[in-house]
Structure formats: structure tokens, C-alpha cells
Chains A and B, each alone.
Chain A
Amino acid sequence: MATQSLCFGLVGNPNAGKTTLFNALTGARQHVANYPGVTVEKRTGTITVSNRIIEIVDLPGAYTLSAHSLDEQVARDFLLQSSPDVLINVVDASNLSRNLLLTLQLLEFGVPMVVALNMGDLARQRGLAINHKQLAGELGVPVVPVVASRKEGVQELLAAALKAVKEDPPHQFAQVQYGQAIDSHLGELEAIVSRHGDLTAGQAPARWWAIKCLEEDRLIMDRVINDGAGGRQVLEVLRAARKQSTAEGKPTSPARLISQSRFHYAEEICRRVVNRHESGSRRWLDRLDHLAIHPLTGWPIMMMIFGAAYVFTFSTANGEILRWAGITGSPISWIESLFSLMAQGVEAVVPEGILRSLLVNGIINGVGGVLAFVPIIFLMFFVISLIDDSGYMARLAFLLHVPLRMFGLQGKSALAMAVSGGVAGGCAVPGIMATRTLSDPRERIATILVCPFLNCGAKLPVYAMLIAAFFQRAQGMVMLLLTLLSWTFALGGAWLLRKFVVRGEPAPLVLELPPYHRPTLQGALIQAWSRVQLYLRKAGTFILAASILLWVLMSFPRLGAQERAALAHNQGALAQAELAHSFAGRLGKTIQPITRPLGFEWRTNIALIGGVAAKEVVVSTLGTAYSLGDVEADRSASLSQRLAADPHWSPLKAFCLILFVMLYAPCVGTIAAIVQETRSWKWGVFSTIYSTGFAWIVAFVVFQGGRLLGLGG
């Protein structure tokens, strides 16, 4: 029986491998990626070791304990308020000196600590040999080498952490000497803080508070200012410290002196414990990296990577690659044939009536239309996982930083936007959550509001269906164009927001470029399969329920007996009239004056209304609408084929619909995430109106411009 409960906190720099270690320790399957800022919330997992229940807390990555952004604040609040029994500081061995800057700050907390020296394999590849025993001696805490991705050293780490709990008194931690000027003020402040216990509320040692006072940390200063006598004394010492702080004869701030001292101390430790020898592969990777982030070569490389990814995805899903192997058909056509067979089976068994209509028009043609794109979803996530794991995404953010700055954002916004679907197939909900890594609140709002413009996974089936119908010859290239357009619109939207709604200068970029990893086939397949499972689950639950509801709206009320009799001789016209008479048909026709200038007809309007629930519903609704209103159509024809054959449609109209779906109101889940993250309904409502207005203007300009240029209409 478990007897004692303990709390271990996993702390470290972004992308140091905390979540991978968390997964290795707890057996969880949290999402990990090779770029910083994936974890923006704290997560807990529980394990039992030697009759002890241990709660493991995975904290968002932090470079400092000064809480510049929301995710860093989560990490610091945990340290201040949760009193963990042991801190496990996850350190990236391939980037030791930068990681040690946080380690030195954590030591000032005085909590028992163990350093997990992660990614030793990568450090070796980079020609770095770290003497972990010597490092332990330098820091005054145990250092355990681990390779979290292979679960190596995990048990040794747990044993060291358990031993650290027992040790009383704890280790003699290393202490940074900040120089005479700072240390004397530090002593004074420590004494004041110790005398005024209510200032610290028993959270963290007095020395930590004294250092934070000298760093003029926002949260600490708020407390100091509100604390009468103690606060006044602290402010007096701070004034004196500011006057006496100089570096190379020039005045500077105490905070700057403190960070410089930490930096020098970390560098000094590294000099003693790290042995460097240049390796050939390292030089080769450095050269490649230089090309990937260089403004001249970086952009063509990016276009080639994503162009190849999309061409591979579409040509495989459409069977072009299979044809080389002598296999006819395509994964998409096989699924469409399966649903066509199912429809025929239902028609053979269920007599004509509303049940058959629901099953065939509502469910099979609705949900089936969405499921037909499973191969594209799988392949897209497979190639994106390969890119993701390689470490290229952070380079993309770095490359995008300069153009993003021109539009009032910064490189870290690019990561949130990439998660949202900047490389096709993401989701705006985690993208919006990833904006917590942005320190400037106005920049964060602008990023949140344009994240839904990117091509999330839910929009993919809509694009794939329309591309297959109207742009069959260059499917991959059209997808690349849509990716570029989504970025262009997101940047344009951000520029407008930063110019008129959330004004301000963009913050500077501090972004870690993680080392390149060799992506594994197994890892990419697992990622892609897990996304397909989610897609299937969503299709089988939410989209199914929404399709049924939309079928009801498209089927009722029915035409009167007289009208039916009048049209009985023409089944096609009768079906069209039935659909037009339904609730959804009337709604679609009501908003036709608004959407007619964009080239949309009333059946498209119905699909667009349904798409607010989830973007895939656009496909299922069109499937149902074209099935209900077109009884004479070939039952085996796919939705793409039906639209391609419909005289109301043209490539220009299809392209305008793609643009509108790309930009109009976010889905309900995204609106909820916006409200949640901004803590304001105002931004949720604003996002819906702003996006829809933006989408209308873009679709209007493209449609009317296209007509003027004679591109159809």
C-alpha cells in the first residue's frame, strides 16, 4: 500500500525534453515536437515507486524565473506556491551553458534538486563530452545523464530524486557571486526581507526575494510597493544599488549585472566540465543550418520542402504514385466506392422513405464525403511530422521573423501560426494556446486573431474536395499556393489589427534553434495515425451529429401535396424544390444577396453556415445538399465529380469558396479557445465578425476581379 505522497517538478528551458521525460516517467503520451513552446500548461501525472505516490508535474519551458510570458509565469507560480519536494531540472546537454543559466536560478530557490542531463547522445554528435560527476560537484546537486527519448537513465534519475528528498540537510548548492557592488546590497535586502515575513509569505528563501528585488521583477515589485515599512526600505536600497551599478565604468542596471554574472558563472562551469572536439557531421549540419536560415537561400529551401510535401501527399492519395507500381485507382476512390456500395446496400434493404433519405443523403453522403479524405489527412500529417521532428519548424520561425516584424508580429508568432495550420493540417486551438509564449499582450491578441486564417486540418477536406473537382492537374502546387495565401492573409490581417486595433511595436525575438534530429519513420507513422484516429472520432461523433441535424434542416418542412403533385413528372425539379422549401434552403436563399457577389449559390450558403460548427461540415453539408437536391445524379459519383459536372460551378467560384472557407468565422471550438485565452467574450465576437468581413472582401475582390479578367463566373 502506498504510504507517502511526494511532488516532483520538471523544470527546464524550452525544448530541453521535459515532456519527453514526463512521458518516459509516467507512461503518458503528451504531444512533443522539436521546437520550443509546445507545453504552455502544467500537466501532472502520478506514479508509485517504493510505496510512495509521486506526482510528477511537467512545467512549461522557461529561460528565466522572471516570468516574461504567460508560460514562464506558470512555471514560476508553481515553484512559489506548490512547494515541490524535489525539482528535476531537465538540461539539454548539447546546449549546456545556456541551460545552466536557469539551473543557477533554480538553485537559489533552495529546494532539493536533481539535474537530468538530457540529450547526451546529441551532445556527443556535436563533439561535446560532459563530465557529469564534475558538473555535480560544481553545482552541488546530483547530475544524472538521461536520454529521455530512449528512456535511458530514467530509473537512476528517479532513485536520485528520491534520495534527494531524504537528505537532511540538503546539498550545499553552488551560489553565484554577483560582485561586490551587488552582493553588499543583496545582503541588506536579504536582511530586510527576513525581517518582514509577510513580504515573502514564506515562499522561497529570503536571498531569492532579494535577488528578484534587485532584478526589479514585476511581481515582486508589486508586492514590495504594497508592503508599507518593508517596501520603503527595499526601495531605498534599490535606489542606492541603481546609482552604484556600473559596468566597465558605464552606468548600468543591477538586473544587467546579475544576468552578466550568471552568464559568466555558467560559462566558467562549462569550461571546466565540457570537452569539445569538432566533428565532420557537425560542420556539415552547421552549413546546412546556415543555408536554411539565410534570407537568400532560406526561402527557396522552404518552398521546396513544402512543395515536395504537398505534391507527395496529393499524388499518393490520388493514386499517381501507385500507378507507377501498376496499381489502378487511388486510396480516395477506394473509400468513395465503399460508401457508394454502402448507399446501394441501404437502398436495396430500406424501403423509400425518410429513414432511407437520412441514411443515404444525411449520413452516407454527408459523413462519407468527409471520410473520403482520410488518406490525405494521414499523408499530410505523416510528412508534416517528419518536418516537425527534424527541427526545421524553429528555422521557419526564424526565417519568418523579418517579414513578420514588418506586419507587427515576431518570429514566435510564426510558431503559433505554424501550429494553427501554417504548414497545413494544424489546429487553431493549440495554436492559440501556444501564443502564451509571446510576452507582449497586444502582439498576442493580434496573433490569436489571425491564427484561424491558417489552413487547419478541418479545412483540408474542403480544399481537397474542391481541388479534386476543379484543379486536378496541379493539386500539390495549388495546395502550396493556398499555404502561401493563408500566410499572406494572416499577415495582412495582423497588419490591420496592429495598425488600428492593438497598436504597438513588435517585441524582439529570442528563439532557440533546436538541433536537427533525424526523424524516425515509426514516430511519423504514429503521429499520423493518432491524428487520423482523432479525425475518425470527430467524423463519427460531432460531424455525424451535425450532419444529421443539417439533414433535418434540409429535409423539413416538406412541400405541400399540391406542389408535389405539380412537380411529380420531374423528380429532379421536385428534389430541388423540396430542398429550397426546407428551413436550411430558406436560410440559404435569405442570405443569397450577401453571398451572390462572391459567386455562391444558396446550397453553398447552407454549407457555410454548417461550417461554423466545424469546417469539415462544409463538405458533409454539400454532400447532403447535392444528394438531396439531385436525385437523378449518378449515385456512384463522388461529391467532387458532382460539383465538377454542375453548371452552377466554375473553377473561379470554387477558388473563391476555398478562400472564403480559409478566412471566414472560426469554428465553435476556436471561438471558445479565443474567449478562454483572452478572458473576454469581446475578442471571440470580434474574431467572428473580423474574419467573416475579411473573408467577404477577399472573396469579392477575387470573384469580381476574375470575372473582369474573363476567368469565368
Chain B
Amino acid sequence: MSGMIQTIIVAAIILASLAYLARCGWQVVQGIRHRRNTACASCGVSSCCGGSKGQEQVE
């Protein structure tokens, strides 16, 4: 595997990670702004909504 291909793969992984972290940060900000609980999305905690989505919503 050439150095160039390695660099491209690594860059793609880094960009995807950055995009994911940015999304998490955005969800936290949105959660604070709209007083919604975004703990599930931001830190994976489920105790507050049971980790279940779909038929119930947390206000």
C-alpha cells in the first residue's frame, strides 16, 4: 500500500471522526437551547429515556 493511499484513508477516517464529534457537540448545544434531553446522543446515557426511541418522546 503506497504512502499516498495510506494518507487518503487516514484523512478520510479523521474527517469522519471530526464530523461525528461536531454532530455530538451540535446536539448538546441544541439540547440546551430547546431544553431537550440529548444525553443519549451526546454521551450514550440511557437512564433518562431508557435508550428506547420511536414511540415515546422525552419533553
Considering only residues 21-51 of chain B, those with a C-beta below 8 Å from chain A are 21, 24-25, 28, 31-32, 35, 37-39, 42-51
A354 an interface residue at 8 Å Cβ cutoff? Answer: yes
B57, A43: Cβ atoms under 8 Å? yes
Cα distance, A358 to B35, chains bound together (Å): 38
Residues of B within 8 Å of A544, CB to CB, are: 17
A712 an interface residue at 8 Å Cβ cutoff? Answer: no
Q: Which of B9, B38, B52 has the most CB of A within 10 A?
A: B52
Residues of A within 8 Å of B7, CB to CB, are: 354
CB distance from A710 to the nearest CB of B (A): 41
Residues of B within 8 Å of A534, CB to CB, are: 44-46, 51
Interface size class of B (residues with CB under 8 A): 35 or more
A350, B1: Cβ atoms under 8 Å? yes
A675, B50: Cβ atoms under 8 Å? no
A45 an interface residue at 8 Å Cβ cutoff? Answer: yes
Cα distance, A353 to B14, chains bound together (Å): 16
With both beta carbons as reference points, the residue of chain B lying nearest to A537 in the complex is identified as B44
CB distance from B51 to the nearest CB of A (A): 6
Given contact pairs A43-B58, A545-B21, A355 touches B9 in the complex (Cβ within 8 A): yes
Residues of B within 8 Å of A26, CB to CB, are: 55-56
Residues of A within 8 Å of B46, CB to CB, are: 31, 530, 534
B45, A427: Cβ atoms under 8 Å? yes
Given contact pairs A29-B52, A43-B58, A433-B37, A548 touches B17 in the complex (Cβ within 8 A): yes
A538 an interface residue at 8 Å Cβ cutoff? Answer: yes
Shortest beta-carbon contacts, A-B, top 6: A669-B43, A538-B44, A430-B47, A355-B6, A545-B17, A548-B17
**What are 10 A-B contacts with C-beta separation under 8 Å?**
A29-B52, A30-B50, A41-B48, A43-B59, A351-B6, A354-B7, A668-B28, A668-B43, A676-B31, A679-B35
- Known contacts A41-B48, A549-B17; 10 additional CB pairs below 8 A are A28-B55, A351-B1, A430-B48, A433-B37, A458-B43, A534-B51, A538-B44, A542-B20, A552-B14, A675-B32
A124 an interface residue at 8 Å Cβ cutoff? Answer: no
Compute the total of residue contacts between A and B using a CB distance below 8 Å.
Answer: 129
A546 an interface residue at 8 Å Cβ cutoff? Answer: yes
CB distance from B24 to the nearest CB of A (A): 6
A42 an interface residue at 8 Å Cβ cutoff? Answer: yes
B1, A429: Cβ atoms under 8 Å? no
Cα distance, A351 to B2, chains bound together (Å): 9
Chain A 40-56, CB within 8 Å of chain B: the 1/0 string?
A: 01111110000000000
CB distance from A178 to the nearest CB of B (A): 35
Cα distance, A28 to B31, chains bound together (Å): 23
Residues of B within 8 Å of A148, CB to CB, are: none
A45, B42: Cβ atoms under 8 Å? no
A353, B6: Cβ atoms under 8 Å? yes
With both beta carbons as reference points, the residue of chain B lying nearest to A357 in the complex is identified as B10
Residues of A within 8 Å of B17, CB to CB, are: 544-546, 548-549
With both beta carbons as reference points, the residue of chain A lying nearest to B43 in the complex is identified as A669
B52, A354: Cβ atoms under 8 Å? no
A614 an interface residue at 8 Å Cβ cutoff? Answer: yes
A28, B56: Cβ atoms under 8 Å? yes
With both beta carbons as reference points, the residue of chain B lying nearest to A38 in the complex is identified as B47
B59, A30: Cβ atoms under 8 Å? no
Q: Which of A31, A45, A429, A549 has the most CB of B within 10 A?
A: A429
Chain A 689-709, CB within 8 Å of chain B: the 1/0 string?
A: 000000000000000000000
